[in-house]
Structure 1
Amino acid sequence: MEKKFFFKDDKSPKNIQIKKDIITHFITSGNDTISELSRELDLSVPTVTKFITELMAQGLIDEFGKIHTPGGRHPSVYGLNPSSAYFVGVDMSRHHLNIALMDFTGNIVDHQIGISYTYENTPESFDMLCDYIQNFIDKTGDLKKKIFNINLNISGRVNPESGYSYSSFYFSESPISETLSKKLNHNVGIDNDTRAMAYGEYMKGIVEGEQNVIFVNISWGLGIGIIIEGKPYYGKSGFSGEFGHFPIFDNEIICHCGKKGCLETEASGLAIHRTILERIAKGESSILTEHVKDLSKLTLTDIIKATNMEDPLCIEIVEEVGNKLGKYIAGLINIFNPELVVIGGQVAETDGFIMLPIRNSIKKYSLNLVNKDTRILTSKLKNKAGIIGACMIARSRLFND
């Protein structure tokens, strides 16, 4: 596989770094004038002009007209050329696959949401995943040549730097990122799904200038993504955010991590799914028995739909989970004192049914002086948070090599 590099013809590390800084400025701040770039990067106007000219010759930067200023010449505005590079984001959940193509400026130009895919930790499931990604890439036509990076979101313990996933598809000594790169003939990286969702929400979602954010992903499992001073927090090995594996409950429920009593065993989509099946089996009524003929095939999507249709049993169980979650999110607020907590993931699609008990529980258990500065909001990107975050992470790795 031939790796793609932006500045392969540049020999000077200093020049390469300046070009990286210019592109990073456009990514984070949008289009700008040479004089503003000069001020922000602490470089002379002639130096910035030289590098802007070179980047335009490479097709990475475009001129986007002039801005009107009082008196004198009207300066030109420059920015990223949207069609100069593309990135693919893949978000894998237990029952679905979402894939998107993003241009250089961060706009999603194509996507497939809700592809039917049942995750299993087997080579066959891995091969099927690769086939879906390859089919999506093939359908991009000529744009395929401009795809620089792909990022796959995986739940659980993922080390993005080494490329290993220790929770899924851990079949050989080779990193999964390396295996994917060879199979797809593109640069492929991996990241934790919740961290990707947090980054997507930070870059394109509900975040409005906040620099310290916690994203709570309530899906089949439970995790958090942490943004500190505007940057995703990874921890030593990329394993930060394992909120669902707090040893909380004195129960005999074995978590998928192999331990008992994890928060996830009683406060997650998995817990909601298990509890509903147990209570229906005991004779409690639910519209789920009418809508899902074979309850062994009941999905979290079915439960979310029933909750939003105001099924009493589903609402009761979702609210119980919300109350439990809010108590421990209050603990996170006490520890991190974030500006914003975003509640996302599939269970968050029940809106007020999960949010009201979470808010009430946070108010009850967090310190007043701490929580008064923290906003609690629902994800704006919803089921697209993962793929948008995956695309954004793929773009952020442009200069890794």
Structure 2
Amino acid sequence: MLPGPTHKNRKKTQLRNDLLKQLYYQGTLSLNELSSLVKKSLPLVTNTVNELLEEDYVVECGLAQSTGGRRPLTFMLNPEKPRYIVAVAIDQLVTRVVIYNLLNKAVSPVATWMLDLHMEQAHEKIAGFVKDYITNSGIPNNHLLGIGISMPGFINMEEGINHTFFKPIQGGIGEYLQQATRLTVFIDNDSSSIALAELKYGAAKGLKEVMVVNIGWGIGLGMIVNGQLFRGHSGLAGEFSHIPLSLTNNLCSCGKRGCLEVDASLLVVAEKAKSAMLRGEKSSLRELFEQENQLPGDQVLVAVKTGDPLAISLLAESTFMIGKGIATLIHIMNPERVVLSGRGATAGKILLAPVNQAINEFCIPRLAEYTHLHVSDLAHEAALLGAAALVMENCNLN
């Protein structure tokens, strides 16, 4: 039996990974900044960065801006280094795939497929899509660090199991896709992935206590506590959709009644719009819904951005209900910021007024005044970026 890695080698490998991750998330950093971030001595960090320079993992990036003294040399990851990440964002109706380089720049266009996760053999379809996409990219497997997958459902990250979808698969969806692609696969809940993206690249970066609300076909929640993603005791924290806030007694997809999702999801908004038009209300959605190239929920967002009164009114009703739920959560968590993210965030600042109205109506003023509401700039890309970050957080870069 060959001897395993020594403790010294493991520490060296860990330091290399930590330095590369800091550069991945931060962009450009000096040696002093890297030393501070990884909490290692400057000589040790300097020696390791020099090794990474020799391996073309890292390149010099000029001098930092002057702060009154000698300007330090900065470093960044080498965009020409042939190391890439496959990011897959799956929701209940759509699957998207892209390959990023070490600077999180797409090296091939995002591919999108309409796929209902409830259909039989959905796992085979996903595996086929991803395999074909990688093949068509022309990037060999040994240049790919792994596949990160963001998906809805109750997920056990360590075992790669989605307890909501793909349940009949022996070994779990993670192992199945790993065998199908011959690449290391990491999976996580979509709302957790979106919160991770906001923490690393978006509106939660540098903050300690943040709630990230994922507005989509359901209403998800990712929580950042003390600057870290909070998953709860069994990894299932954040089921915001299923807080019983509904004004109706409609049955939710979870099998319970009264869940927020039955009043506030984009799917429900689209169905309400269809019902309103059957009653004679005028809307540009009539023509939009006839187009088959986009889903009705996405067409609602298109109509909102073009000023359609019906779409705006229904989305405002939905986001008011979301705001009511957020008010409840503010009482529990007292966050510094609430970020509205995910697919629905493409509606932009029009989301702010009804959510703020609900917070002002249902939240204790002293708590509300310390919480700032923000619409994500990442929006629809957050799930893909979160899936990429999932690989970077867990893979070995050596």
Instruction: Give TM-score scaled by structure 2 length.
Output: 0.87
For 2:376, the equivalent position in structure 1 comes to 379
Counterpart of 1:235 (choices 212, 216, 232) is 232
Counterpart of 1:165 (choices 159, 162, 165) is 162
Query: How far apart are the structure 1 equivalents of 2:324 and 2:394?
Result: 36
For 1:272, the equivalent position in structure 2 comes to 269
Indicate how the Cα distance of structure 1 residues 48 and 279 shifts in structure 2: closer, same or farther if over 3 A, else same. closer
Deviations 1:36-82 (A, max 9, x none): 54455554444333333333344433333456989999754334333
For 2:394, the equivalent position in structure 1 comes to 397
Counterpart of 1:245 (choices 242, 247, 253) is 242
For 1:323, the equivalent position in structure 2 comes to 320
1:10 and 1:16 in contact (8 A); partners too: no
2:247 and 2:258 in contact (8 A); partners too: yes
For 2:85, the equivalent position in structure 1 comes to 87
Counterpart of 1:152 (choices 149, 155, 160) is 149
For 1:103, the equivalent position in structure 2 comes to 101
2:107 paired with 1:121? no
Indicate how the Cα distance of structure 1 residues 250 and 320 shifts in structure 2: closer, same or farther if over 3 A, else same. closer
Indicate how the Cα distance of structure 1 residues 308 and 15 shifts in structure 2: closer, same or farther if over 3 A, else same. closer
For 2:15, the equivalent position in structure 1 comes to 18
- In the TM superposition, residue 248 of structure 1 has moved relative to its aligned partner by 2.6
Structure 2 unaligned spans of 5+: none
For 1:360, the equivalent position in structure 2 comes to 357
1:100 and 1:391 in contact (8 A); partners too: no
- In the TM superposition, residue 224 of structure 1 has moved relative to its aligned partner by 0.8
2:301 paired with 1:311? no
Indicate how the Cα distance of structure 1 residues 261 and 16 shifts in structure 2: closer, same or farther if over 3 A, else same. same
Letter matched to residue 124 of structure 1? Q
Query: How far apart are the structure 2 equivalents of 1:42 and 1:346?
Result: 37
2:267 and 2:296 in contact (8 A); partners too: no
Deviations 1:291-312 (A, max 9, x none): 43499x9621222223333333
- In the TM superposition, residue 388 of structure 1 has moved relative to its aligned partner by 1.2
Indicate how the Cα distance of structure 1 residues 250 and 85 shifts in structure 2: closer, same or farther if over 3 A, else same. same
Query: How far apart are the structure 2 equivalents of 1:64 and 1:165?
Result: 42
Q: 1:332-347 counterparts in 2 under 5 A?
A: 332-347=329-344
1:26 and 1:32 in contact (8 A); partners too: yes
Q: 1:279-318 counterparts in 2 under 5 A?
A: 279-293=276-290, 299-318=296-315
- Which segment drifts farther, 33-42 or 164-173? 33-42
2:349 and 2:375 in contact (8 A); partners too: no
Structure 1 unaligned spans of 5+: 1-6
Indicate how the Cα distance of structure 1 residues 143 and 71 shifts in structure 2: closer, same or farther if over 3 A, else same. farther
Letter matched to residue 311 of structure 2? C
Indicate how the Cα distance of structure 1 residues 17 and 342 shifts in structure 2: closer, same or farther if over 3 A, else same. same
Q: Give the aligned length.
A: 393
DSSP 3-state at the match of 1:217: strand
For 1:212, the equivalent position in structure 2 comes to 209
DSSP 3-state at the match of 1:355: helix
DSSP 3-state at the match of 1:266: helix
Counterpart of 2:195 (choices 191, 194, 198) is 198
For 1:56, the equivalent position in structure 2 comes to 53
For 1:3, the equivalent position in structure 2 comes to none
Query: How far apart are the structure 1 equivalents of 2:113 and 2:65?
Result: 51
Indicate how the Cα distance of structure 1 residues 140 and 235 shifts in structure 2: closer, same or farther if over 3 A, else same. same
Query: How far apart are the structure 1 equivalents of 2:329 and 2:397?
Result: 32
- In the TM superposition, residue 169 of structure 1 has moved relative to its aligned partner by 1.6
Indicate how the Cα distance of structure 1 residues 398 and 10 shifts in structure 2: closer, same or farther if over 3 A, else same. farther
DSSP 3-state at the match of 2:48: helix
Letter matched to residue 26 of structure 1? L
- Which segment drifts farther, 248-257 or 19-28? 19-28
Instruction: Give TM-score scaled by structure 1 length.
Output: 0.86
Letter matched to residue 275 of structure 1? K
Indicate how the Cα distance of structure 1 residues 43 and 344 shifts in structure 2: closer, same or farther if over 3 A, else same. closer
Query: How far apart are the structure 1 equivalents of 2:32 and 2:298?
Result: 51
Indicate how the Cα distance of structure 1 residues 8 and 117 shifts in structure 2: closer, same or farther if over 3 A, else same. farther
1:348 and 1:355 in contact (8 A); partners too: no
2:17 and 2:397 in contact (8 A); partners too: no
2:96 and 2:113 in contact (8 A); partners too: no
- In the TM superposition, residue 256 of structure 1 has moved relative to its aligned partner by 0.7
1:60 and 1:84 in contact (8 A); partners too: no
Query: How far apart are the structure 2 equivalents of 1:70 and 1:313?
Result: 53
Query: How far apart are the structure 2 equivalents of 1:250 and 1:66?
Result: 58
1:92 and 1:154 in contact (8 A); partners too: yes
Query: How far apart are the structure 1 equivalents of 2:66 and 2:351?
Result: 50
Q: Determine what percentage of the aligned residue pairs are the same residue.
A: 28
Indicate how the Cα distance of structure 1 residues 261 and 185 shifts in structure 2: closer, same or farther if over 3 A, else same. same
- Aligned alpha-carbon RMSD (Å): 3.1
- In the TM superposition, residue 9 of structure 1 has moved relative to its aligned partner by 10
- Which segment drifts farther, 344-353 or 262-271? 344-353
1:288 and 1:306 in contact (8 A); partners too: yes
For 1:4, the equivalent position in structure 2 comes to none
